Every structure is written in C-alpha cells, then in structure tokens.
Amino acid sequence: MIWLTDITSLTASEFWIVTAIVFLAGLVRGFSGFALSALIMATAVVILPPVELIPMLWWLEMSASLLMIKEGFQDADRPTTYGLVIGNTVGWPIGLWLTVSLDVAMSKIVALTIIVVLAASQLAKVRLGFLASKPGLYGTGIVAGIVSGLAHVGGMVVAFYVLASNAPARSMRGSLVLYLFLGSLVSLFIQLAFGVMDMSGVARGLVFAIPTMIGVFLGQKLFIERLAPYYRPFCLTLLCVLASAGLIRTAVS
C-alpha cells in the first residue's frame, strides 16, 4: 500500500478516494461511452489540479477505449468521427496551452464551469442545427480539442454534434468511443510536446487504469437497449451535480 501512495504522490485517503472515483467513472463510461474524464475532472480536481489530471486521464481513457473499441468500430458513424478527430487535432494544442498558462485555482474553476455549462445545455435539449454541416463538423472538432486540452471533456462537445444529427443511442455511443480512442492517440503526442505527460502522470495512469477498467467492464454489461433512452440524462445530471459541488468547494476553499 505504501508504495502505491509513494508512486502516485497521494496520501492514503486521497489514493482510495481517487480509486473510488475512477471506478465509478469507468462504470459510467462503459455504460454511456463517454463522461469518464468529465466525471473524474469534476471530482478529483479538488485533490489534483487539471494540469496533473490530464496526463493521468490519457491512460484511463486509453484503457477504457481498448475495452470498448470493438463496439466503437461496429456502431460508429466513421466519416463523421474522422472529421471530428481532424478538428480535435487542431484544437488540442490551444486548450493545453491555456491550461499550462493559467494558475491552478483558475484552471479548476474554468474546467468545472465548462462541465456545468455543457451538461446543463444538453439536459435542456439545446440543438444547434448548423452543426449538421461540414463547417459545423470540423468546428465542433476544433472546439472539442480546445476543451479537451483545457478540461479533458471534449466528448461532451462532440455530443452536441450527435444531438444535431438525431443519431440513435447506439450510434452516438459508438461514435464517441471511436472518437475518444483516435483523439487519445493524437493527444499523446501533443502532451509530450508540451511536457505535460510526465512520469507522475504515467505512474498514476497505470495504477488507476486497473479500477477504471473493472468499472468499464461492469458498465458495458449495463448497456442494454431497454435502458438506452435513459443513459444520457443520467450521466448529464450526475455531471451537473458533481461539477457544481466542485465549483462551490473551490470557491469557498
């Protein structure tokens, strides 16, 4: 136990809290196809700043993607997903530059605010019709990349595009899984270029990948057609509550 807290640079209580967070986030990711990073960023940000969470989240997203990639390729709208990944590649360096330029307290507030706004907008069923176009496709990818670099919640921005196209739940889930997998491959090189992917992030990512993958595996078992209409409202409501709580805690600390 001591060696785990040493390599993750966390206290024993922080270690178990983060373990519980990543397991639950993995459960939601396996069920919904997204929200892993957003859930962790909304909760673990009170323990670790976003700039330290981002490299850890890369490993967790990749481990989740490897478990779900078969479903992603089968169910995704591939041309749309590839366009989003191209835009994501452009936006990621911008978002990451903003993250490393802001102070810790401000980056926490920005990251949590982004999650609240995106989740609340989708719960309100905001539909942006212009997104269902080529400029909308690449523009969404760019914004998703910026938000991913800043708060690692680009999957929620991509969900706006899916909402505009009225895609079925299985297709949306598959597209998000494929997008997050391909986007993670691109973001690794960007994080290395910015020096954000350090050994601490690697150690935490590898350690917490295990409870994350257990959660993802169990979450996949919960995704059945009968529950498909309910999975997105559940995830978005949870994100709003957790991110709002994080904002309040950050403001009063």
The pLDDT confidence band at residue 16, using thresholds 50, 70 and 90, is: very high
% of the chain residues with pLDDT over 90: 30
CB 92 within 8 Å of CB 187: yes
Rounded to whole angstroms, how far apart are CA atoms 103 and 122? Answer: 29
CB 25 within 8 Å of CB 35: yes
Helices (H), the chain: 2-8, 12-32, 36-44, 50-75, 78-101, 104-123, 134-151, 154-164, 169-194, 199-222, 228-252
The pLDDT score that the predictor gives to residue 12 is 93
The pLDDT score that the predictor gives to residue 83 is 93
Burial class, 183, CB count within 10 angstroms (exposed 0-12 / middle 13-18 / buried 19+)? buried
The pLDDT score that the predictor gives to residue 42 is 82
The pLDDT score that the predictor gives to residue 58 is 93
Range among 32-46, 83-97, 144-158 rated most confident: 83-97
The pLDDT score that the predictor gives to residue 23 is 97
Match 């986007």 to its residue by tokens. Answer: 183
Mean local confidence (pLDDT), 14-26: 96
The pLDDT score that the predictor gives to residue 68 is 93
Rounded to whole angstroms, how far apart are CA atoms 232 and 238? Answer: 10
Is the four-CA dihedral 40, 172, 86, 112 of positive or negative sign?
Answer: negative
Q: Please choose, from the candidates 93, 3, 118, 102, the residue with its C-alpha nearest in 3D space to the C-alpha of residue 49.
A: 102
Which carries the bigger pLDDT value, residue 241 or residue 206?
206
Mean local confidence (pLDDT), 205-216: 96
Report how far apart, in Å, the C-alpha atoms of 222 and of each of 29, 30, 116, 193, 218 are.
Answer: 11, 8, 25, 38, 7
Helices (H), 132-168: 134-151, 154-164
